[in-house]
């Protein structure tokens, strides 16, 4: 590839890595922006014939999981409806298991059995939050909403993409170059939006707050250093949250291991490596919190923990060289990307899981 192709690839991949970081703060805008970029990155790449697209499907699935993983951590930060959160938690891990199974088998029907319902359910809940409190979303609303999305939106879409193998780029090009078809598609979209808006205006209760795209502000106890002086220090090291984080990060790492160059570990080895890393990371994080180390912002914590995680990974690699378990350690680029990946996901998971815990404590305190 020439210089221009490399600039395009780096720009698009960089955008797909950085854009999801807006999701915790502007949930609906952030995830829709990621969804649009996901839909059009292949279109952009195809304008440059020198860009090799042979591994596009694996790259695309991995970066899809990356931004959805950040969206899942955002539910722990922002969502106050327990039914909505528990439903999204199931949908997220269900899809994650399905993507791992697909990556290991390349059987496309698996993606139809494990559809990405989580993403559209996230959009549904955040669309409600634009004008209403999440407390309106009970178990009935959450389950019925997820079921409708699953059956009537995601199953047809997954069939279109993975079973029918209809090329999205060709479909978009056909629509844009056929005036009658373009008018029909735009008109149909306008009618659907108008019907949806009419249904909300007719049946929904009055709005609880002005229209807002920004995530709801956190209570004081869940901000900055105060978060560490309350819930974080009180957390146990070996608990369900640690197991959930190990599964969460392990499955995501297995997916990325399929596309990263020079990964000598088996899939089971990746899970073991990540589980050990997560445990060591938790030990260090807990020790720092108990000694009064408080991160005032997510950005500062990301920078600090990136250094900590790099040291942990290098020490684990040094130990491996001494023991001789792996013959060929990962290249420097792969190691640095792994540190970036695990730093972003562990920091957001730890911080936002603590916020979720703190919100639960506050709710119980307020009712007693």
**Inter-residue contact 278 to 246 (CB < 8 Å):** yes
**Can you tell me the distance from the alpha carbon of 84 to that of 41, in angstroms, rounded to the nearest whole number?**
31
Number of Cβ atoms within 10 Å of the Cβ of 222: 21
Residue with tokens 């699935």, as numbered in its chain: 61
User: So what's the pLDDT on residue 366?
Assistant: 40
Tell me the two tokens of residue 328. 């060929």
The pairs formed by 116-119 with CB atoms below 8 angstroms and a separation of 24 or more are 116/64, 116/68, 116/154, 116/158, 117/91, 117/146, 117/149, 117/150, 117/154, 118/68, 118/71, 118/72, 118/88, 118/91, 118/92, 118/94, 119/31, 119/35, 119/68, 119/71
User: So what's the pLDDT on residue 24?
Assistant: 96
Q: Kindly give the confidence (pLDDT) of every residue in the chain, 368 residues in length, as a single tens digit, with 9 standing for 90 and above.
A: 788 889 999 999 999 999 999 999 999 999 999 999 998 888 889 888 888 888 888 888 899 999 999 999 999 999 999 999 999 999 999 999 999 998 888 888 898 899 999 999 999 999 999 988 888 889 999 999 999 999 988 888 887 776 666 666 666 667 777 888 778 878 887 887 787 667 666 667 777 888 889 999 888 777 766 666 666 555 666 678 888 999 999 999 999 988 887 776 778 888 888 888 888 888 887 777 666 566 667 888 888 889 988 988 888 877 766 555 555 667 888 889 999 999 999 999 988 988 888 877 445 444 33
User: So what's the pLDDT on residue 365?
Assistant: 41
DSSP string of 78-104?
Answer: H---HHHHHHHHHHHHHHHHHHHHHHH
For 230, residues 6+ apart whose C-beta sits below 8 A from its C-beta are 221, 358, 361
Q: What does the DSSP 8-state code read for residue 52?
A: -
The pTM (predicted TM-score) of the whole model is 0.88
**Inter-residue contact 116 to 154 (CB < 8 Å):** yes
User: So what's the pLDDT on residue 362?
Assistant: 46
């Amino acid at each position: 590839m020439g210089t221009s192709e490399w600039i395009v690839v780096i720009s698009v991949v960089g955008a797909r890595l950085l854009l999801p970081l807006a999701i915790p703060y502007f949930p609906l805008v952030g995830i829709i922006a990621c969804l649009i970029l996901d839909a059009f990155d292949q279109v952009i790449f195809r304008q440059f014939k020198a860009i090799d697209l042979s591994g596009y499907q694996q790259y695309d699935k991995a970066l899809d999981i990356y931004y959805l993983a950040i969206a899942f951590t955002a539910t722990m930060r922002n969502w106050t409806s327990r039914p909505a959160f528990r439903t999204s938690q199931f949908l997220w891990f269900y899809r994650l298991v399905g993507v791992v199974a697909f990556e290991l088998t390349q059987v496309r029907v698996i993606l139809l059995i494990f559809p990405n319902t989580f993403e559209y359910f996230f959009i549904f809940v955040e669309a409600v939050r634009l004008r209403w409190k999440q407390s309106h979303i009970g178990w009935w609303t959450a389950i019925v909403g997820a079921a409708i999305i699953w059956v009537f939106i995601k199953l047809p879409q997954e069939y279109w993409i993975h079973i029918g193998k209809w090329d999205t780029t060709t479909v978009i090009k056909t629509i844009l170059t056929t005036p009658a078809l373009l008018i029909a598609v735009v008109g149909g979209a306008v009618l659907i939006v108008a019907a949806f808006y009419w249904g909300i205006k007719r049946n929904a209760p009055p709005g609880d707050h002005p229209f807002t795209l920004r995530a709801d502000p956190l209570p004081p106890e869940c901000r900055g250093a105060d978060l560490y002086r309350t819930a974080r220090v009180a957390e146990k090291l070996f608990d369900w949250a640690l197991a959930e984080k190990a599964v969460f990060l392990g499955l995501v790492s297995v997916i990325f291991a399929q596309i990263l160059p020079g990964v000598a570990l088996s899939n089971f080895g990746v899970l073991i490596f990540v589980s050990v890393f997560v445990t060591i990371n938790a030990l260090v994080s807990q020790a720092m919190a108990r000694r009064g180390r408080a991160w005032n912002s997510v950005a500062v914590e990301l920078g600090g923990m990136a250094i900590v995680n790099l040291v942990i990974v290098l020490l684990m690699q040094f130990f491996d060289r001494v023991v001789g378990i792996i013959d060929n350690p990962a290249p420097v680029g792969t190691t640095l990307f792994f540190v970036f990946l695990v730093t972003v996901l562990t920091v957001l998971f730890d911080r936002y899981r603590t916020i979720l815990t703190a919100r639960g404590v506050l709710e119980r305190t307020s009712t007693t």
